[in-house]
Amino acid sequence: MVGNNESGSNTNDGDSSQPSTEQNRIATAIKSVESTFRSARENPTEYERESHYWAVLTGKGVLVYTCFTAAIMVASICTAIYSRWQATTADDTERRDSRAYVYLDISSFRYPKPPHDYSYGIVLKITNGGKTWARNLITRSFTYPQVGKIDAWRCIKWGMLMDEPIVLGPGQSLSTQLPPVMYSEVPDIAYSRKGYEYLEWLTYDDAFGVSRQTQFVATVNADPENFISFSFRGIHNCADNDCPKDPTYSRP
């Protein structure tokens, strides 16, 4: 009986030691807090200085982190913009290299051959200098008997001169015969008593679905030696957006 009591007494002592340890830890933590509080109350300046230091350090860290994050975002945005610009530039370059370019050239030749030389034939050559088809190509031609410095372009009813649309392949040319200049007219042209202007307005669609145009005006020049040449009216020798928006427009 005595032995059993001692054993139970030992067990109770072992169980009571664990709460005592927890109490000691709590007491130590409370003393630490009291010590910190007492130190802050006894020396508030030092405590405030230390608190201010850590607050400033924390603020700087947040600022650096924010700036770093913003720099990454800006770099990502710039990369996206640059990639898009590269893609757009590559697409524009491909279109410029591949699209249709329709231009005109004018020339003259004497016929019939000497000694029966009595007129100049006028040939207008239409060429697609691009790498793709020119679709829905519509030509409008007019020969104006020029007298003096007259802008014939605005005198023409272009809507009545539309031919049927055709296609012109890459590198393909089409030659058209224009009204001739008679040999007997050359002296009058040389002395500005009469003259001719050859006007051409082309509209077409390129392979990318963009509507385009070419305007062309050539004036016949001559000298008393019965030789002719051509000069060009600048405002109506143009292509696409370089041309006046209104085809009947004339610079005053």
Phi–psi pair at 56, nearest 5 degrees: -65, -40
Q: Average pLDDT in the 140-161 region? A: 80
Comparison of pLDDT for 52 and 110, the residue scoring more: 110
pLDDT at 89: 65
* Of 22 and 236, the one with more pLDDT: 236
Query: What whole-number distance in Å separates Cα of residue 57 and Cα of residue 96?
Result: 58
Q: Note if the pTM is more than 0.75.
A: no
Mean of per-residue pLDDT scores for the chain: 78
d(CA 184, CA 222): 12
If pLDDT is split at 50, 70 and 90, which confidence band does 84 have?
confident
Most confident of 74-78, 153-157, 218-222, 246-250: 218-222
- pLDDT higher than 60, residue 205: yes
Q: In the predicted model, is pLDDT for residue 245 greater than 80?
A: no
Q: Specify whether the CB–CB gap between 86 and 94 falls below 8 A.
A: no
**Residue 8 pLDDT > 50:** no
**pLDDT of 235 higher than 50:** yes
Instruction: Give me the pLDDT at residue 162, please.
Output: 74
Higher pLDDT: 96 or 187? It is: 187
Section 10-19 average pLDDT: 50
The letter for the amino acid at 129 is: G
Q: Is the pLDDT of residue 134 over 80?
A: yes
Residues 6+ apart with CB under 8 A from 102: 126, 127, 128, 129, 130, 134, 137, 168, 202, 204, 212, 214
pLDDT score for 19: 57
Is residue 118 a contact partner of residue 149, using CB atoms and an 8 Å limit?
no
CATH topology for the 102-242 domain:
Immunoglobulin-like (2.60.40)
Residue 126 burial by Cβ neighbours in a 10 Å radius (0-12, 13-18, 19+):
buried
Tell me the pLDDT tens digit for each residue of 151-163. 778 888 887 777 7
pLDDT above 60 for 111 = yes
Specify whether the CB–CB gap between 161 and 142 falls below 8 A: yes
Tokens for 25?
């830890």
Average pLDDT, integer, range 157-184: 89
